Chains A and B, each alone.
Chain A
Amino acid sequence: MAGYGFLSLWLFGFFALTAGPMLASLYLSFTRYNLFGSPEWIGLGNYQLLLSDPQFRQAVKVTVTYVLVGTPVKLAAALAVAMLLNNNRRGQGFYRSVFYAPSLIGASVSIAIVWRAMFIDNGIVDRIGSGAGLDWGGWIGNPSLIMPMFVLLTAWQFGAPMVIFLAGLKQVPADLYEAAAVDGAGPWRTFRSITVPMLSPVIFFNLLLEAVHAFQVFGSAYIISNGTGGPAGSSLFYTLYLYQRGFQDFRMGYASALAWVLLVVVGLLTFVMFRTSNAWVHYGGDEK
């Protein structure tokens, strides 16, 4: 009983601030609700509408592309830098902080503004491009270059997975590397046969975390496209579309349905990744 007493504050928070709003949004996803009037029950109407909504398809396409391309690129960058920083050398702490810094400030609005300025017409990237004879123009206004820009932006913020990789690399027993060196294995072979398998739990963890994270990207998309998802829908990320429907078009019921679809998809993805992880994630001491 006393336990519940101690828990009560947390329980109150959970029901009032988490479970309550979630249930409310689940209810709203079955209604037509414009924020002004009272919600009107329409059953599965919103979910059916999703199927025929070209913007929904566009948002899914943009987001899935971002997850499928951005996440591996980011993790590769994180792992590469983590391996460079793994060796003991002077000023190691300094380098680690420097590489970690972008992910500390990366989520902030100001960085998105800076990136916008860098990739705009006549911005620094455009000028470097034309200096090298490449006619890029501004990436911001070009529907086929804006996605690469977002991928670069996320890859640049590799600090958090890098720190986790570093911790993982420290755990790999040194005698394995010594044995490999004695057997005459090259760096590539060592990487493939020792580093990757020994690191697989960490890779799994990072992959899951970053993929889930990527599904929810919002701030940078909002700032860089001025909240429009443009040019021509090419940066219409899922959460941005959800926001537009809810707060710009006053269709909160529809937006709630979008949110629940996202939740279910991310949940399914996590489930599938856990189920398949046995096949490739190797934990130390495993007999498999």
Chain B
Amino acid sequence: MKLTTRITVLATTTAMLLGTAACGGNDAGSDSPVTLSFTWWGGDERAEKYQQAVELFQEANPDIKVKTSFTDFPNYWTARSTEAAGRALPDVMQMDLSYLREYAENGHLADLNGQVDTAGFDENQLRAGTVDDQLLGISAGTNTFALYLNPDALEKAGVEPLPENYTWEQYNQFILDVQAAGVKTKDGQPIVGSGDYRGVLWLFIQWLVQQGVNPYTDDGKIAFTQDHIRQWLAVGDAPNNAKAFASASRTTQLKPKSPFLVGEQASELNWDNFVAGYLVDLKDVELQPIPAGANGTAQFWKPAMLLSVSNNSEHKEAAAKLTDFLVTDPAVGKIFGNSRGVPSNEAQRQAVESEEGSADELTTAYEKAVAAQVTAETPLPIRGFGSLEATWLRLGEDLAYGKISNDEFVEQFWAEAQQATL
């Protein structure tokens, strides 16, 4: 954590120095150069890419300086919430679908309608960033769930590959098979089939959609019931009772990595734009569609991340210009590839050069392959979703440790949900 902070400081300072250096020559010409602040969550890799993109922007707009900063996901939202309280949000910021409503309904975001060139965007992606007819976040890239497989671990375990259109039951059987194979890594850690997938709120949402249940009402209330949660938890009962999921204590200790990343887990359900990150640790991953429910896989595209302009910004026009550049310029698309999700903008999508066997190629190929199965609309999270997600994660951990039963999970989550969505 400390390291991240230091890197952030370093990055910010560097950016400021670069910014100052870059604008030194221009002061004479323009009356007063505008300085924008821009912030995002992510690792060093993303920071380098944004840095390149911002430099391109500053070259094209010499009268605008951009000050950048970044941090990891949880700390990112802590910082933003305190800034929001003081009406001092950065001019441009990365926004997550889980938090969009919270910020939107309290009037912290500026309407980008007419400010950003929306021609090259898919209608669905634009709608995902729209609250009360205002375009408050613009999708930088899209993602969808995938099943990641570690071919190396699979080969060791020697289990049958999953068939096409496999169901949750078949996936559970696969997890049990990996356990039955009883193989270990070089370090003597047992190889498991999967982590406890029930602890991810988005996977529950995905499963609901597969059951034909709309998770939220149109006016932004919870539409699923306690019974739905109970049914979902029961989906994972078989592998859980057999202790076939990755052990809770091992998972906790490996953080911020995961058993999948260190080769102790044969498969993992996650968003498909994580490929690039995964390939840093694993030499090889394969992608397969997620398990199917009653309505097939019913996958949906979700904005992997949005960009928003804050309402307290004094330079909304310049901020919108930067936002537009970051989500529509082909050169920026080329820099990022699919690492922010497959670009939502047509021109940026065309600019992605995916080399054979690269992460970008894997994501592009996967999204092409599942395009026909992406049948559902993106369920737009309700207000308070961010804290619901955190609660779900915490209860998922309690469940994995065997501290609470399925019923207690349901009861505690429900109590929290009533509080958080008031």
Contact = CB atoms under 8 A, between A and B. Distances in A.
Interface of A: 32, 34-37, 49, 52, 54, 109-110, 113, 120-122, 137-138, 140-143, 223, 226-228, 230-233, 244, 247-252
B403 A110 contact: no
A27 to B, nearest CB: 15
B255 interface: yes
Contacts of B74: 227, 248
B159 interface: no
A140 B253 contact: yes
7 closest cross-chain pairs (CB), A and B: A141-B249, A36-B106, A232-B401, A249-B387, A141-B252, A35-B85, A141-B253
B419 interface: yes
Contacts of B241: none
Contacts of B390: 244, 248-249
A232 B398 contact: yes
A100 to B, nearest CB: 24
Nearest to A37: B106
A35 B250 contact: no
Contacts, number: 86
A231 B420 contact: no
Contacts of B81: 35-36, 247, 250
Contacts of A120: 253
B102 A141 contact: no
B397 A231 contact: yes
A251 B388 CA distance: 12
A230 B397 CA distance: 8
B82 A140 contact: no
Given A141-B253, A248-B390, A36 B102 contact: yes
A231 B84 contact: no
Contact of B103 (A36, A122, A226, A227): A36
9 contacts: A32-B422, A36-B84, A226-B255, A228-B397, A230-B394, A231-B248, A231-B252, A231-B401, A252-B85
Contact of A228 (B253, B394, B415): B394
A138 B85 contact: no
Contact of A233 (B256, B391, B403, B415): B403
Contact of B398 (A52, A138, A233): A233
A54 B419 CA distance: 14
B345 to A, nearest CB: 29
A247 B78 contact: yes
Contact of A223 (B1, B108, B254, B415): B1
B412 interface: yes
B397 A250 contact: no
A121 B250 contact: yes
A36 B85 contact: yes
A55 B169 CA distance: 34
A232 to B, nearest CB: 4
Given A35-B85, A228-B394, A54 B102 contact: no
A230 B252 contact: yes
B250 A49 contact: no
A249 B389 CA distance: 10
A32 B419 CA distance: 10
Contacts of B187: 122
Nearest to B401: A232
Given A35-B85, A227-B74, A233-B403, 12 more contacts: A35-B84, A37-B106, A54-B412, A121-B249, A121-B250, A138-B253, A141-B249, A141-B250, A233-B394, A248-B74, A249-B391, A250-B386
A137 B254 CA distance: 13
A184 to B, nearest CB: 55
B2 interface: yes
Interface in B382-396: 386-387, 390-391, 394
Given A140-B253, A143-B403, A231-B249, A248 B78 contact: yes
A52 B419 CA distance: 12
Nearest to B404: A232
Nearest to B412: A54
Interface string B235-258: 000000000000011111111100
B77 interface: yes
Contacts of B2: 109-110, 113
Contacts of A122: 187
Contact of B82 (A32, A109, A121, A247): A247
Contact of A109 (B1, B400, B412, B422): B1
A232 B108 contact: no
Nearest to A146: B252
Nearest to A140: B253
A120 B257 CA distance: 13
Contacts of A137: 249
A58 B8 CA distance: 34
Contacts of B412: 54
Nearest to A42: B422
Given A110-B2, A227-B74, A233-B403, A248 B387 contact: yes
A49 B419 contact: yes
A52 B411 CA distance: 12
B84 A249 contact: no
A250 B102 contact: yes
A2 to B, nearest CB: 37
Contacts of A230: 252, 394, 397
A174 B387 CA distance: 62
Contacts of A251: 387, 419
Nearest to A121: B253
Nearest to B420: A249
Given A143-B401, A247-B82, A138 B249 contact: yes
A230 B4 CA distance: 21
A46 to B, nearest CB: 10
A123 to B, nearest CB: 9
A139 to B, nearest CB: 9
Nearest to A222: B1
